[in-house]
């Protein structure tokens, strides 16, 4: 499968490897959307397990967005990863797997990564008016949106 995909995309697939028996692909952001569609339609990865991200503040492109996919017919998992810079957006997979809807909203909520083509991208766990994205590495463990807390909870601090 990887060989076929590599033939099709060439250098678009930067790395296709396996660590501790788990397969993953690192791909260019430009081909993600098409690749995910192909993985579902042609390679039968019909179940999107998770969409998540990791923040690497030292890298030029700070965020790694990860799709964890599973195929019922093949009983196999694969992770697709791509890099996104701060302020850039990733392609949405909601039209491919409906389940990506809330998962992408959570990534947006926690990291501030926008997803192009998401039907209703807004915060999901934190309140709508909250400032900041807590899972970024520069967000402190006890940091909070003081302004929001004071205005909405009527207390000085949540700590």
Site residues for other proteins per CB under 8 A:
19-20, 22, 24, 46-50, 52, 54-55, 66, 68, 72, 75, 77, 79, 95, 97-99, 101-103, 106, 110, 119-120, 123-127, 134-135, 139, 141
Which residue lies nearer to other proteins by CB, 10 or 141? 141
Which residue lies nearer to other proteins by CB, 4 or 42? 42
Task: Enumerate the β-bridge partners of residue 81.
Answer: 26, 66
Note the Cα 17 to chain centre separation in Å.
19
Residue 130 CB: number of other CB atoms within 10 A? 17
Helix ranges (H only) for the chain are 2-9, 29-41, 100-111, 146-153
Beta carbon of residue 7, minimum distance to other proteins (angstroms, whole number)? 26
Is 58 buried (19+), middle (13-18) or exposed (0-12) by CB count in 10 A? exposed
Beta carbon of residue 110, minimum distance to other proteins (angstroms, whole number)? 8
Rg (CA), the chain: 18
Which residue lies nearer to other proteins by CB, 3 or 159? 159
Which residue lies nearer to other proteins by CB, 37 or 95? 95
């Amino acid at each position: 499968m990887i060989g076929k995909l590599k033939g099709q995309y060439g250098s678009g697939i930067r790395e296709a490897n396996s660590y501790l028996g788990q397969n993953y692909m690192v791909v260019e952001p430009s081909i993600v959307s098409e690749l995910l569609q192909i993985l579902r339609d042609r390679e039968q990865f019909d179940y999107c397990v998770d969409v998540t991200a990791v923040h690497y503040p030292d890298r030029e492109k700070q965020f790694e967005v990860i799709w964890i996919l599973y195929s019922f017919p093949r009983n196999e998992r694969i992770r697709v990863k791509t890099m996104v810079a701060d302020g850039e957006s990733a392609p949405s997979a909601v039209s491919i797997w409906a389940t990506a809807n809330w998962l992408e909203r959570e990534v947006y909520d926690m990291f501030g990564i926008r997803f192009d083509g998401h039907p209703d991208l807004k915060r999901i766990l934190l309140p709508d008016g909250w400032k900041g994205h807590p899972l970024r590495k520069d967000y402190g463990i006890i940091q909070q949106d003081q302004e929001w807390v004071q205005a909405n909870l009527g207390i000085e601090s949540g700590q």
